[in-house]
Amino acid sequence: MCGIVGYIGRRNAVPLVVEGLKRLEYRGYDSFGVATADGRINIIKKQGRISESCVDPLLLKGCMGIGHTRWATHGVPNDVNAHPHTSCNGDIAIVHNGIIENYSEIKRSLTAEGHTFLSDTDSEVVAHLIEKYYNGDILQAVFSAVLHLKGSYALLVICSSEKRVIAARKSSPLVIGEGDAEMFASSDMTPVLEYTRKIIFLEDGDVADIRDSKVTIYNNKEPVERKSELVEWDFESAKKGGFDHFMQKEIFEQPDVFFNSFNIEIPEKAVADLKKASQITVVACGTSYHAGMMFRYMMEKYCKIPVRVEIASEYMNFNPCKNSVMFAVTQSGETADTLAALRSAKNENCITFAITNVLGSSVTRSADHVLYTRAGPEISVAATKSFTAQLAVLLKIVSCLCNDDIEVEISGMHPVIEEALLYDAEPAALICRDAASLFFIGRGIFYPVSLEGALKMKEITYIHAEGYAAGELKHGPFSLLCEETPVIALCIKDDSYPVMMSNIKEVKARGAPVIGIGSAGDIDLEEICDFYIPLPKSSEISEIINASVILQMLAYKTAVLLGRDIDKPRNLAKSVTVI
Ligand code: M6R
């Protein structure tokens, strides 16, 4: 779960690689490094964030370079464990994203052959393995080395005496950008889009020989053709555009994102496969899992089709989905747990759907059908607009299968989401800021909304927050309630309203302050809560979306008050490519 960038062309590689790494910091940000080759390998690598450091382009020269921003898996974040790693003679440098599962075995045998290792990482073995096979041609050496690697890798390799960057991919993303007499390689396309929109998505097993004006791609050592795709995402959308944080910007993009995502076309063959489904299984992690849970409520309510929703990493422990339909919901399309669950469903003859935001991501290579959310690049580690986009696509599926009324309901929602965005969450955030712990409660579809609200809050504020089914709080967690544990209650005027009101009273009777989020004009709710947040008046679906949006803003404002590192919360990375 790291980011890698490579460049070869006519310009100084260093500023390009450094800027590219800054855009990939969402993938990891505990240390970084850059290497160039100009007859010899030059390296700078350090613990810390590249966005907060200064890499002097004059210290490293060369029109060919590679770089890395790290999320530690093997070895603590420090200068030595930072990438690039080099061969014993210092002539070969590599950067790696992924995990080399058999690195201990390789390290033992290379050590016995006389290689000396400096770091605690799994990745360093790759540099030494390539050195072992190097005989004047770095491409051939990489071909030989990758045969020994088990696990996952996106690799970039340079050699002091050759003018080429070698890239190799297995189960970790890697794209190549084709510029004008210059080439880029990167974990995703965001660092490349400023220079070119012609992107090649490497496939598993591909090894690419990248020269300044040409790339040759091999699989099993045989040349293969990989056509470049013209990517629509623009570079501007990956910038903050006047907002203080990417998260804030992404929250504000949601009205458009919702509509663009709802308006996708679902291909006829996909609709036909969906119509055959007597049961649907959804696998996902984190925020995407919550979107999956919400889909279950909608599907069962409108279409009466049973939906099973599993946390992807737990999916293996239950009976597999057999001969039916599986949805893998994943913003990045690279989440290892979700990919593993999807692959196992394929082995059980399931028809698989990927719902993802990233063109060409790994999940799109594995699934039978791909439905793209139209959120655009999401940079903040905390998922916001991608969640709304997933809900929109999932709603589109419900609408397509069994309820055209949704389309009508949705048509008037744009201004209603905009109205929710005007809400000033600061007074409520002031209550949350001083909390020892927070509970988010709801019933029905507002239960997963509350789970998502709690996830957002804990992720970016570091305040312990738990989402609970409102009826479940009395079965244990009541013992935790006190003045320091505010409860955020989602209490909308639907069928569960009367019991929800009772739950709020029970909470109040135990001394916990309540922030009630409910339908506009609900005087009863306003009266019993310590703080009341009215949702703009509209339809049921808009209340679901707006409650989610307001919880995102509440988490955001609380994190601002606490001075947290909002877009890059500690210990996290956006794309979780390890199991
Ligand atoms: O890319 P994915 O949707 O598969 O990612 C799944 C989770 O890692 C992700 O939603 C995570 O929970 C978010 N950072 C939460 O804001």
Average of pLDDT values for 265-274? 94
Higher pLDDT, 196 or 231: 196
- How close is the Cα of 331 to the center of ligand 1, in Å? 7
**Pocket lining: 384 vs ligand 1, CB cutoff 6 Å:** no
Q: Are 178 and 196 in contact (CB under 8 A)?
A: yes
* Residue 139 DSSP SS3: helix
Higher pLDDT, 55 or 384: 384
Give which of 545, 552, 542, 263 is closest to 388, Cα–Cα: 545
The percentage of residues in the chain with a pLDDT greater than 70, rounded to a whole number, is: 99
Please tell me the class of the 3-236 domain: alpha beta
DSSP code, position 71: -
CA 453, 455, 461, 463 torsion-angle sign? positive
DSSP code, position 171: B
Choosing from 245, 247, 288, 355 the residue with most ligand 1 atoms within 8 A of its CB, the one to mutate for a pocket test is: 288
Instruction: Measure the CA angle with vertex 286, ends 410 and 266; round to 5°.
Output: 40
**Pocket lining: 383 vs ligand 1, CB cutoff 6 Å:** yes
Write 371-374 long-range contacts (CB < 8 A, 24+): 371/264, 371/266, 371/270, 371/397, 372/264, 373/257, 373/261, 373/264, 373/331, 374/257, 374/260, 374/261, 374/263, 374/264
6-58 pLDDT, tens digit each:
999 999 999 999 999 998 988 888 899 999 998 999 999 999 998 888 877 67
* Residue 45 DSSP SS3: strand
- How close is the Cα of 576 to the center of ligand 1, in Å? 8
- In the chain, the amino acid numbered 340 is A
Residue 576 CA, closest ligand 1 atom number: 8
* Fold assignment, 240-411: Rossmann fold (3.40.50)
**Pocket lining: 288 vs ligand 1, CB cutoff 6 Å:** yes
**Do 240-411 and 422-563 agree at the fold level?**
yes
Residue 286 CA, closest ligand 1 atom number: 12
68-86 pLDDT, tens digit each:
999 888 999 999 999 999 9
**Residue 105: which pLDDT band, with cuts at 50, 70 and 90?**
very high
Residue 356 CA, closest ligand 1 atom number: 3
Active-site positions? 2, 574
Question: CATH classification of 422-563, choosing from 1.10.290.10, 3.40.50.10490, 3.40.50.300, 3.40.50.800?
Answer: 3.40.50.10490
**Residue 565: which pLDDT band, with cuts at 50, 70 and 90?**
very high
Instruction: Measure the CA angle with vertex 565, ends 563 and 567; round to 5°.
Output: 135
- How close is the Cα of 63 to the center of ligand 1, in Å? 36
Whole-Å CA distances, 443 to 499, 535, 544, 552: 9, 16, 12, 19
**What is the rounded end-to-end Cα distance, in angstroms, of the chain?**
11
Global pTM value: 0.83
Residue 382 CA, closest ligand 1 atom number: 16
305-356 pLDDT, tens digit each:
999 999 999 999 988 888 789 999 999 999 999 999 999 999 999 999 999 9
> Which pLDDT score, from 0 to 100, does residue 339 have?
96
**Pocket lining: 287 vs ligand 1, CB cutoff 6 Å:** yes
The percentage of residues in the chain with a pLDDT greater than 90, rounded to a whole number, is: 83
Whole-Å CA distances, 83 to 78, 94, 147, 344: 10, 7, 22, 33
Domain boundaries, the chain: 3-236, 240-411, 422-563
Give which of 436, 412, 424, 385 is closest to 533, Cα–Cα: 424
472-496 pLDDT, tens digit each:
999 999 999 999 999 999 999 999 9
**Pocket lining: 291 vs ligand 1, CB cutoff 6 Å:** no
- How close is the Cα of 286 to the center of ligand 1, in Å? 5
* Average pLDDT of every residue of the chain: 94
Residue 456 CA, closest ligand 1 atom number: 16
**Residue 536: which pLDDT band, with cuts at 50, 70 and 90?**
confident
Q: Is the pLDDT of residue 555 over 70?
A: yes
Q: Which residues contact 217 (CB under 8 A, 6 or more apart)?
A: 200, 202, 206, 207, 208, 209, 223, 224, 225, 226
> Which pLDDT score, from 0 to 100, does residue 235 have?
67
- How close is the Cα of 455 to the center of ligand 1, in Å? 10
Average of pLDDT values for 167-196? 94
* Residue 335 DSSP SS3: coil
**Pocket lining: 172 vs ligand 1, CB cutoff 6 Å:** no
